Structure 1
């Protein structure tokens, strides 16, 4: 804990202070907006932005990770709690904190048990599909507050403010940084300035509401925001532990994946090394802290972490400063926060999630691996049609199915020798020479119960295609393991070949595989020989 503090230098302080201020300015509108996405009062978003970063700074390993509310986790909260309680009700708030508590416990347990590798089962295409589907859902859910109602029952003052804010934010996203650079600002300062556009737009919209009395004309606002720091929240619902368990598992894994993806990218830029299990502990503690302070599940925000990095954050002290400033914002008079217009907040959410609609991975997967592209599209469609949890399950199931299908159909190459050398290559890809009566096959995968039958079938097909084979050499240079089922399969193949007068030889068996084979009877029963290399088998068997 606090290992970063042991190496802290005074020269790092200015960068941490500036980053802490900049991120705090982002967090106020973002936190309140994401609380609305989660179906909670806006102040819950600020509550979830104070204690969690403090605890992450204590346990986490990323110097630039900004922990707090995020669009995707907020949507997952809304999806998980909607069947259980009415959004905005007291029970809903209790369940949101309870979900954060369970998610934090899951993350903490995974970190202490050092099983962070489980998150690897969520492939990048599945994550991308989940992000795309979630972004579309979130954006669609903000159409009503953006326009003050669904078409055609639009509240025109609200729509004017919402669409105006949306246009300004889209302009800022695409062109504001370039405009600021042309005024003489450095690229880093210009980029940070463009990231603060939501804060400027929300403040401007709030001033308009106050000056023109738009709240009295029907423009929805956040309403009264209670002043003061969040108290200790110990409320739970004993009847809802079990219904919340499955969503908590999913939220916990998504929190870890989202946080790690952003933190790893930034760590690479600084040559830092992240500890995945310590990250799990830090994120678990952050979510437990959010639960105890009346918040909801939190994660490391990719966009805020990037701003934190660009603003000069040198250590976790930047997040501590951000949390302190947000606490001061609640201690100070909060009357102005009550006038924050929901159309402007909806515009900030829509623009934020539009940045998540990155289709480049889909384009790459479609050209490189259609199975991954199908998993991406199925996950996105599942999120849109079936809901967040079901969509992720569909995507993971498809990814695992594709993995099992590939593993059950390993590549097997017929080898020939490149003339004048000791190199052996696939006869379909290279100009090679073969020897009559000798068939050399390279199996390019581990042998296990799921593919041994397919391997034996392919071997039989090749024996039929190469009539007159007297020696079959299995080159096992790419085989890292042979399980018990595959061991029996090789034994049955050896027996079958013996009855047909074909000798079975093994070549280039890896050390760990050989160690296990020595514990079996296969080597003693083998009707052929073991060869150190394919070249030695060729020299001995080629006629």
Structure 2
């Protein structure tokens, strides 16, 4: 008997048995890539290696059962791991050390708070917040994270001590410490990078990361790599993760990690929503971002309750799942099972894995985050936004990931405000080759003798209201013929705030004092309700409100024997 529909996960409704074989193969392939990848992310989050495995155990299970996306893969992620480490390091908690039980507990607390924020966002239907990071800003942010992540792996690849301080100090530390270079360590790190790139180039369907990890682990075990100075990850705690609230947490710790949790929240929303939408569109599905937020919230709550760090929707792992033709979250459930088997039975085999191998895996991930092609596309199509992307990337690298996410949000919002502030103002005007079309509103442009059809391509609000007023006055005062009708095409105006309402009242008075009729064309019902509340409709004749621009223009009295222009289709 099939389960009731309400009990079937959203992402697996309508599942076909014929998909099972492909999902099983996709899940095993994804596990082979995801397991070394998330183990490598622990070097960014500065947590024990086993916590990486925990990020794809219960969190991935929670999202598979509660999320909407059929393909989105949730787990440890380089961007959120970098935000987490930077946030905790700057939280000012006395005596806090990376890798320590207190550090791991605070990572879990941050994941719990991130999960709660995501849940609140779902209740308030705030999925749209993911749209407040523009594509160019996100490219710049992830490029900066990629530079930070890749450069952060160089000391482990070279076998030299890591530096402290800002990014420049850390780079200078390994450059000046190159004299301590461990050639065997470099061989493992460089070998990992070479194997991954060779497989990408020659055998792209085979995951080079797992080939590198398994092959070099075998070499390290057979040759006892640690005996000739190669740092290995050592014993990994096997078995199930610890279940429960993070230990030793105080109320003061909650306040200390909230800013980091909010930064993680915005990246989780933006990155997961973008990934989910892009793959849904690719397969003709509909992305339910608000439902995915439920799954992401549950995933982070599961992470916090199972001793690991913040999880996120991963574009790279989702691309892998799609590339091997995974159809549903059943593939992710296979990853969960494989990870569980590793935790229960295989952690002992990983003891001799060189840290340089994991560093090489993460180095490649960081390099792939540096989106040179994306920056080039932005440069060609929107050069102005390239500057924003580069500033965001440099801020992430030089100042830190936390500052980068704040700047990314601020720049995205400023970009929106500037576009509204500098909205286009147009006038329906005759073309040189005949006919009419909208042209830039400039002094001396009119639609016909006595008529101006004016369009403003933005909602009116306090910042652009004075610009709207100035443009109206400019085209009216400089019109070649005395204006009798001023038709406001309301296509681009759906709302008017209180400040703009005052400005619109002033424009109305200005027009009426010059004997000009203000006519509204194509206003939405909500806009008319707003204008009534501002008592503006008392100043406009009901006969001068048209639901169609053609009707509005046709109602203008003929002047000097000329017919009014026909609006463009």
Per the normalisation by structure 2, the TM-score is 0.86
1:13 equivalent in structure 2: 20
- Quote how far apart the aligned CAs of 1:387 are: 0.6
- Give matches, 1:293-332, under 5 Å: 293-332=306-345
CA distance in 2, matches of 1:45, 1:368: 39
Q: Is the 8 A contact 2:80 2:311 kept in 1?
A: yes
SS at match of 1:355: helix
CA distance in 1, matches of 2:484, 2:355: 77
CA distance in 1, matches of 2:66, 2:542: 58
Q: Is the 8 A contact 1:21 1:322 kept in 2?
A: yes
CA distance in 1, matches of 2:269, 2:337: 25
Distance 1:530 1:10, change over 3 A: same
1:283-335 CA distance string (max 9 Å, x none): 11011111111111111221212222233323222211211111111111422
CA distance in 1, matches of 2:147, 2:433: 60
1:63 equivalent in structure 2: 70
Q: Is the 8 A contact 1:505 1:528 kept in 2?
A: no
- Give matches, 1:121-520, under 5 Å: 121-149=132-160, 150=174, 151-177=178-204, 191=205, 193=206, 196-236=207-247, 237-238=249-250, 239-417=252-430, 423-426=436-439, 434-466=447-479, 469-478=482-491, 479-499=493-513, 501-512=514-525, 513-520=527-534
- Quote how far apart the aligned CAs of 1:531 are: 5.4
- Quote how far apart the aligned CAs of 1:475 are: 2.4
When the two structures are aligned, how many residues end up with a matched partner? 524
2:44 equivalent in structure 1: 37
Distance 1:525 1:271, change over 3 A: closer
Distance 1:475 1:315, change over 3 A: same
1:107 aligns with 2:148: no
2:537 equivalent in structure 1: 523
Q: Is the 8 A contact 2:11 2:67 kept in 1?
A: no
- Quote how far apart the aligned CAs of 1:346 are: 0.9
Distance 1:88 1:14, change over 3 A: same
SS at match of 1:494: helix
Q: CA RMSD in A?
A: 2.5
1:475-516 CA distance string (max 9 Å, x none): 2232222233222212222323444x3414224141322343
- Quote how far apart the aligned CAs of 1:434 are: 4.8
- Quote how far apart the aligned CAs of 1:423 are: 4.9
Distance 1:63 1:443, change over 3 A: closer
Distance 1:495 1:542, change over 3 A: farther
Q: Return 36-45 or 263-272, whichever deviates more.
A: 263-272
CA distance in 1, matches of 2:397, 2:69: 33
Per the normalisation by structure 1, the TM-score is 0.90
Q: Return 512-521 or 138-147, whichever deviates more.
A: 512-521
Q: Which runs of 5+ in 2 are unaligned?
A: 1-6, 161-173, 562-569
- Quote how far apart the aligned CAs of 1:529 are: 6.8
CA distance in 1, matches of 2:269, 2:477: 51
